Structure 1
Amino acid sequence: MSGDEMNHNSTTNGMVSAAAKSIRNRNADFVALNELCASQYRALQQTLRDSGWPVDGTNFARFEGAYPAGRSVCGGEEEGIAIFSKQPLGPADRFTLPDDGQREKRKLLCAALKDKTHMRFCVTHLTFVDDYRKPQADYVRERLEDYHGKGDTVIVAGDFNMQPNWGRMDDFYSAGVNTPNNDRNTGHYRELDDNDPANCAGYGESTVSKLDPGNAGPCGTGEKIDFIFAREDRIAGPYSADSLAPESCGGALCSDHRVLIGSVTVSVNGGASAV
């Protein structure tokens, strides 16, 4: 969302209303957001509540600060990650990823559905510090595997600051994804944009708003650094994803990332869920 850097903590420049419109128009089940100011989180909650999107307007969102309050960003409030759910949420689990030495502390935020406790949704935003990319990705993967061991079905979304074909992602992606664009994989997860033959099969579409010719991915179409992962043994049918251009906010783009949307049916203890 680039809540501070590009939107300057604004709740009135069009970013909040564009996000709410996108969520409503797609009738999304879950939403993951990065780099969201606390004020924008509250404003988006209120906008979605007023529009009648959540089933329970008092219990549909969770926020975890990553950049601390009392600094120059977000009007002195926290900037962080957030999840929104059409169905009511249960308690949230909040994890701090291995410390990369930066002021922003990278987090993993997860919550199960209140009435389907084995269905869990997570958001994360990994570091750009090279030596800590894999340790943080491994930490996230280990937490997902912990949930899996307890019988949970988990979908995780967010900015990993890595590309699918990087060796540091091999432990995430399933070998079933292996293509010339993304090989050597040994993990258990499928990314919802990994099987589109028209858009760099095994890698997916770019999720950054501007093409960098010097870093354009294996198909030359742009970097993919945002992901929606589900464990392959929980996927119960076709899945897909798409990368959409961000809206305009005050004459400029709302974000330097594209909007990543996905659809998947997953098996959950107690019954399948389409999300």
Structure 2
Amino acid sequence: MTSTRTRPLLAAAAAVAVALTGAVTTVAAAPSAEAAPSTVRVISHNLEKKTSALNKVLDLADSDTVPGKEILLLQEVCGDMLPALRKLGATSFNPRRTGKCSGEDTRLGEAAVWTGSGATALEPQPLLTKGEHAYGLACVDLKKDGRSIRACSTHLVAGGKDETEFRGRLTRKIRSVTNDWISPSRTVIVGGDFNARPGFEAMDAMYADGKGAQGKFREIAQTAGAGNDAQSGRWTCGRLTDGRDTRRKIDYVFVSKSGSRDGGGSERTMASPSNHRILFGALPLG
């Protein structure tokens, strides 16, 4: 197709991005749902510091698969990737730690982008710190179909059971911060790599519906099709190799329940050069 937006592919990995493809998996939704005026499209992905994964996202954002403007919520973004993102639109960046990327800007963090016009990139919202990591939210403010939206990208602590308590502290901090943002006139979206599966205690502070729910958000899988209360969704990380199945959902896109509908959305995933799959779809606005 002819590109509808001007944005540079990062030349060093362009050939890789073209060569790498992946099948798309979908939760069934009405074909017209993504085109409805009361939805907003979101793409969330942990780039794993890979330029080729960023190119995959840029290709998806500029394709017929995801037509129009969208919110990009990206994790493990290297500082040298920011110029390409800023050419797409307003871009907020939370530098979580330094010295983890190659190139001139070695900062590693999370980014939120609105590829349309009229958005405002906000200063990073700090959450908690641990060791060299400054966990936070990278957020942009935008308007879609007359509704004010604040969209944020985040990445929670990795690790096993030894980090369970701290992940719970992070999600409770997100709940505390976003409680002050959610209002009848503002919808809040939070997406990213939470390093926890649905049903894990750390996720209770996010979900508004389902077992153990103590939050104010619907997850994108809960808006797909007719909507549901299940805490589930497409797998976003891992693989099936030699009979060993490590596939799991640890990436999410949440939307405030008060500013959304329980049906009419869509949830899709796509393979990427990253060890995470791209999570994308449409969120139905209330």
TM-score range (shorter-chain normalised) is: 0.7 to 0.9
Q: What does residue range 145-160 of structure 1 map to in structure 2 within 5 Å?
A: 145-149=179-183, 151-160=185-194
Judge conservation of contact 1:163–1:223 (CA < 8 Å) in 2: yes
Is 1:264 the counterpart of 2:266? The answer is: no
Of residues 241, 252, 257, the one that matches 1:232 is 257
Secondary structure in structure 2 of the residue aligned to 1:238: coil
More relative contact order, 1 or 2 (CA 8 Å, 6+ apart)? 2
Q: What does residue range 108-187 of structure 1 map to in structure 2 within 5 Å?
A: 108-113=137-142, 118-128=148-158, 129-149=163-183, 151-175=185-209, 178=210, 183-187=211-215
Judge conservation of contact 2:265–2:283 (CA < 8 Å) in 1: yes
Judge conservation of contact 1:98–1:132 (CA < 8 Å) in 2: no
Q: Distance in 2 between matches of 1:264 and 1:65?
A: 27
Deviations 1:56-86 (A, max 9, x none): xxx5222221122xx2523352111111112
Shift of residue 153, structure 1, vs aligned partner: 1.2
Q: Distance in 2 between matches of 1:239 and 1:100?
A: 39
**Partner of residue 210, structure 1:** 239
Structure 2 residue runs without a partner (length 5+): 1-45
Shift of residue 21, structure 1, vs aligned partner: 0.8
Deviations 1:197-218 (A, max 9, x none): 8xx95311111142488885xx
Q: Distance in 2 between matches of 1:40 and 1:81?
A: 11
Q: What does residue range 36-51 of structure 1 map to in structure 2 within 5 Å?
A: 36-46=77-87, 48=88
Q: What does residue range 246-257 of structure 1 map to in structure 2 within 5 Å?
A: 246-247=271-272, 254-257=273-276
Q: CA RMSD in A?
A: 3.0
Secondary structure in structure 2 of the residue aligned to 1:133: helix
Is 1:244 the counterpart of 2:269? The answer is: yes
TM-score with structure 1 length normalisation?
0.72
Secondary structure in structure 1 of the residue aligned to 2:192: strand
Judge conservation of contact 1:17–1:44 (CA < 8 Å) in 2: no
Q: Distance in 1 between matches of 2:221 and 2:254?
A: 9
Shift of residue 149, structure 1, vs aligned partner: 4.6
Which residue identity lines up with residue 127 of structure 1 in the other structure?
Answer: V
Shift of residue 263, structure 1, vs aligned partner: 0.8
Q: What does residue range 50-61 of structure 1 map to in structure 2 within 5 Å?
A: 59-61=89-91
Change (3 A) 1:239 1:122: farther
Which residue identity lines up with residue 188 of structure 1 in the other structure?
Answer: K
Change (3 A) 1:30 1:75: same
Out of 187-196 and 119-128, give the one that drifted further.
187-196
Of residues 74, 84, 94, the one that matches 2:113 is 84
Of residues 104, 110, 114, the one that matches 2:133 is 104
Which residue identity lines up with residue 39 of structure 1 in the other structure?
Answer: D
Of residues 248, 255, 264, the one that matches 1:223 is 248
Q: Distance in 2 between matches of 1:188 and 1:139?
A: 13
**Partner of residue 56, structure 2:** 18
Change (3 A) 1:142 1:150: farther
Shift of residue 228, structure 1, vs aligned partner: 0.7
Shift of residue 158, structure 1, vs aligned partner: 0.7
Q: Distance in 2 between matches of 1:162 and 1:104?
A: 18
Change (3 A) 1:88 1:23: same
Alignment size in residue pairs: 229
Secondary structure in structure 1 of the residue aligned to 2:96: strand
Judge conservation of contact 1:83–1:122 (CA < 8 Å) in 2: yes
Change (3 A) 1:127 1:214: farther
Shift of residue 242, structure 1, vs aligned partner: 2.9
Change (3 A) 1:215 1:144: farther
Secondary structure in structure 2 of the residue aligned to 1:227: strand
Q: Distance in 2 between matches of 1:37 and 1:146?
A: 30
Shift of residue 15, structure 1, vs aligned partner: 3.5
Is 1:188 the counterpart of 2:216? The answer is: yes
Identity of aligned residues (%): 23
Is 1:75 the counterpart of 2:90? The answer is: no
Secondary structure in structure 2 of the residue aligned to 1:165: coil
Structure 1 residue runs without a partner (length 5+): 49-58, 217-221, 248-253, 268-275
